[in-house]
Chains A and B, each alone.
Chain A
């Protein structure tokens, strides 16, 4: 009985714990203090923090250099782990986090539910076909997450830097060099080689004037990202490029772009995203295979990638919530004040002269 409770608890803890790196803004000015939130839960809401000891690699890549970050730059705020950093020189930057593997035991029915819940449908089908749905599982899992953000105006070549994680997304173009209406190809690598025929889920939060905060800790929004398979047992098909279903309007603030799309990598490990809106985009996949290792039944690697697509002008207005923060918004203050003093001066001289 105790074992069952523990297994159920472990299942709950594991479920939906996708990991994402979410900069507070995807468009930063050079040399400014900023932060990147590490969400562990869904794209919308972090359920818990990540212990520093679990972080096998934390890297920032920019201006042609890869910098390993130490644990002192991290802190916890509520259920979010946050990296404080100062943005560097102008260019397109990459941040990545890779965690150490952990094992989890799951009863057969919990394992099956998790496979369905998290969209690992190939393994579910395999178990169904092999008649092994009744077998318990011991899974080793690790997570590898990346984000790409833009500092200043100048684009640079670091956006496709390969961090060497076991599972990793690499865009084929700089996301900050494209705009809505573009098609973006992203390659999925497994140990450095293209991974074919792998399900990838894509979501987006359209840019709007409200705030897409990478660091939003207290979002009351409904989870719109990872729960693509728990809509009341509704059956879903998952053909390439096919819409799974949309949670728009189920309590979210209307940021949701158009639900989660399910794609499958081609023979070269590529998926093609139809970039139809500015805002924050994210990809997630879980590569789960049978494990030959003693004491394990399966091994999984989880990967996510986040980036923002601008409106077609430099520095789209943040939110991120956006890509939306206020930092690049509005009329430059000095122009406002100089213009004001000028108008005031002209008016004063006009009225003063008329008086005489």
Chain B
């Protein structure tokens, strides 16, 4: 695990920790910011939400692990972005709101799915090929967008510039996604050249499965306790 790139990666993660340590949810300070800050504040809050959205980041990391080149990454991220834009904008505009525990539980399952697929679970355990990844990423993109929409609708958006606010939040989400992707892609790409990459790959994807199951159980517990 030694080596300059790996150390840089660890340092990068440590540097990001203070940012990541902020709450994933929506708080009064965010609402106050949105009340006063205009459309720019929606961009900021959208970006912040993506950067602190543990489940979104885990899923993205899982997708990146599976891909080989930048062209693939660009294609899959574009499809994922398209998916979550559709539901984020559509559901928020039409004020369709799902139970956030259930949506987050499904998002957690998307994390499990990606880790399981990356570990070859479909071949090894289910003795079948994995479903078309591009299609699955699009479907999961729709799901993540619904989660983002549910969060956005937790805010008091007001009626002025309603669509512009949704679009600004969406722009923020995309910017946050780019900012989150850069260190993830760099870390994976740099580590790919190391002899320890195989261990890292397996560890990271096992972790995705564990984390996804944990998040799923947590959200389900939350759902059952609010019924």
Contact = CB atoms under 8 A, between A and B. Distances in A.
Contacts of B174: none
Interface stretch (B26-34, B74-82, B84-92, B176-184): B26-34
Contact of B17 (A84, A337, A343): A337
Nearest to A209: B226
Interface in A309-356: 325-327, 329-331, 333-334, 336-337, 340-341, 343-344, 347-348, 350-352, 354-355
Interface residues of A, number: 43
Interface string B144-175: 00000001001011111000000000000000
Nearest to A345: B203
A82 B21 contact: no
A334 B17 contact: yes
Given A32-B28, A217-B159, A348 B199 contact: yes
Contacts of A25: 28
Contacts of B198: 351, 355
A132 interface: no
B25 A330 contact: yes
B93 interface: no
Nearest to A355: B199
Nearest to B33: A33
- For the complex of A and B, the 9 pairs showing the least CB-CB separation, nearest first, are A326-B25, A347-B203, A327-B27, A352-B199, A33-B32, A351-B199, A209-B226, A348-B203, A34-B28
24 contacts: A33-B29, A33-B32, A34-B29, A35-B31, A209-B223, A215-B31, A216-B156, A218-B157, A218-B159, A325-B28, A325-B31, A326-B23, A327-B27, A330-B25, A333-B52, A334-B17, A341-B13, A343-B211, A344-B207, A347-B204, A348-B200, A352-B196, A354-B199, A355-B198
Interface of B: 1, 13, 17, 20-29, 31-33, 35-36, 52, 54, 97, 99-101, 151, 154, 156-160, 196, 198-200, 202-204, 206-207, 210-211, 218, 222-223, 226
Interface of A: 24-25, 28-29, 32-35, 75, 77-78, 82, 84, 208-211, 213, 215-218, 325-327, 329-331, 333-334, 336-337, 340-341, 343-344, 347-348, 350-352, 354-355
